[in-house]
Amino acid sequence: MSANNVRIAINGAAGRMGRALINAALVTPGAKLSAAVERANSPELDTDAGNLVGLPASGVELGADLAAALAASDVLVDFTRPEATIAALAACVKAKRAMVIGTTGMTPEQKAKIDAAAKEIPICMAANFSIGVSVTMKLLELAAKTFGNTVDVEIVETHHKHKLDSPSGTALVMGEVVAQATGRNLKDVALYGREGQVGARDRNTIGFATIRGGDVVGDHTVMFLGEGERLEITHKATSRLNFAQGAIRTAIWLSGRKPGFYSMREVLGL
């Protein structure tokens, strides 16, 4: 392995996304898995990270000491829960380490803490690190600018039954892209549910529908519904590995950057 490989620590290493991130870090050129962090009572502690994901032993065992993990790493990748991410954020600021955040469901206060931390360390936070989703966002911007306010916009998302937040962070970002492209504020026009005698649809609104069930990794469809035609832009994820690969690619790009809040558009040159 090259001495120039970016040393990457994974927080929440034993979770569904954590395992995908371990896999991606072990096989992506330019990356070196340097640490895998789990909660102190995890039954997976002391397990070799490679063995955990069905790969040869990596020499990195799951541990609970985040400070030690950061000392041995250049970047922390965190796809956990808001409280855990904010705790890890403080540790990254203290250690002056870059951070890739894929956690969704943040409160405004938690987002403010991330914005403040970005003045001290480089951070890339995204609702979805899939390369395909980033391309989808560009297509949505083009469609929204082209249609303007001449169509109705509805966003439908489906995820596995274990997902905690709703709508998904990706769906919300899709709504923000459409709203900004058409001169609207999503907070003013988002409609998150319909029931009973709701009356005729207001064209200015952007509707969201959420489906939860089974093991669906993530499906998103944005519909532009006009008179006599409709355009549907859909992205379907069939594996968490595509999110993980995007996050590891981002970690490599982020290492050595100046403090700041970076977007996937910058990472991908979009």
Burial of 87 (C-beta count, 10 Å sphere; 0-12/13-18/19+): middle
Judging by DSSP bridges, how do beta strands 6-11 and 152-159 pair with one another?
Answer: unpaired
pLDDT by residue for the chain (270 residues), tens only, comes to 445 799 999 999 999 999 999 999 999 999 999 999 999 999 999 999 999 999 999 999 999 999 999 999 999 999 999 999 999 999 999 999 999 999 988 999 999 999 999 999 999 999 889 889 989 999 999 999 999 999 999 999 999 999 988 999 899 999 999 999 999 999 999 999 999 999 999 999 999 999 999 999 999 999 999 999 999 999 999 988 888 999 999 999 999 999 999 998 899 887
Active site residues: 159, 163
pTM score, whole prediction: 0.77
